[in-house]
Structures are given as structure tokens and as C-alpha cells.
Homo-oligomer: A and B are copies of this chain.
Amino acid sequence: MSDLLHRLRGRGWRMTSQRRVVAEVLDGDHVHLTADEVHARAAERLPEISRATVYNTLGELAALGEIAEVSTIGRAKRYDPNAHHPHQHLVCSRCGTVRDVHPTGDPLADLPPAEQFGFTLTEAEVTYRGLCPDCA
């Protein structure tokens, strides 16, 4: 994830220990942490980091497109650092576990212009729901 830190520097970000730690926590594939989980893991390395800073940093990273916010129904947002590799999510309806999946086809192409109602489309998010093997 030093790539990320490098890119952020290039965008004029001031590098702080807090931001570095948040970026490190989000390193890796198949990571789908809530903001509070990010805060807990960051606090292991930097005990005095505040929730506000974690929220700020996650929000900025999402606005820059470096991480993706995963939508949920009635749960806390999850943050996905795998934003540069298009994929979708498979969510357990009971326990909320998230897995990355790669469906065939391009959902954006499946929406005919007549169904776009003048919107400027930016994204098609597909969420598969079901019960994971543990909950079934």
C-alpha cells in the first residue's frame, strides 16, 4: 500500500502517522471493515487515534476513489480497498459477512438508455444476498 501513500502525496496530502496507519490497516484484498473496525485496528498501533480522524480519512479516501464504500441494509458502512479492481459483493443476510465476487457481463450495459431517465450514470453496484455456509 505504499503505492497508495505515494499517490496521496502526489495529490498534495500531508502525510501524518494517523493517515499512514489507516492506509496500512486497509491493506490487502478481501478486506471489508467497518469504520469502527478500522479504528480498533488503527488504535492497536497508534492508541490515541480518534474516531473523527478515522472517519475523516476514510471519507477522503473514498472521495478520491482509492477505496469503495459498500452499501448495506441497516448496518454500518464497510470500506473496500480493492477499488481499482472491479468486482461485486456477496453478502450473508444473517451475519453480514462480505465476499468479493466477479459476475460475468457488465451490469452498466444492461440498462437501456430509455431506462436512464436523464441520469449521468457512474456506477452499477451488484449485491448478491443469501446465507453463507456457516449460517445456512
Chain A interface residues toward B at CB < 8 A: 69, 71-74, 77, 90, 92-93, 99, 101-105, 107-108, 110-112, 115-133, 136
A126 to chain B, nearest CB (A): 5
Residues in B neighbouring A93, C-beta threshold 8 A: 122
In the assembly, how many copies of this chain are there? 2
A-B pairs, 4 with minimum CB distance: A103-B110, A118-B133, A121-B130, A119-B130
How would you classify the secondary structure of chain A's contact residues: helix, strand, loop or mixed?
A: mixed
**Whole-angstrom CA separation of A69 from B104 in the bound complex:** 26
Residues in B neighbouring A105, C-beta threshold 8 A: 105, 110
User: Which listed residue, B69, B110, B132, touches A73 by the CB 8 Å rule?
Assistant: B69
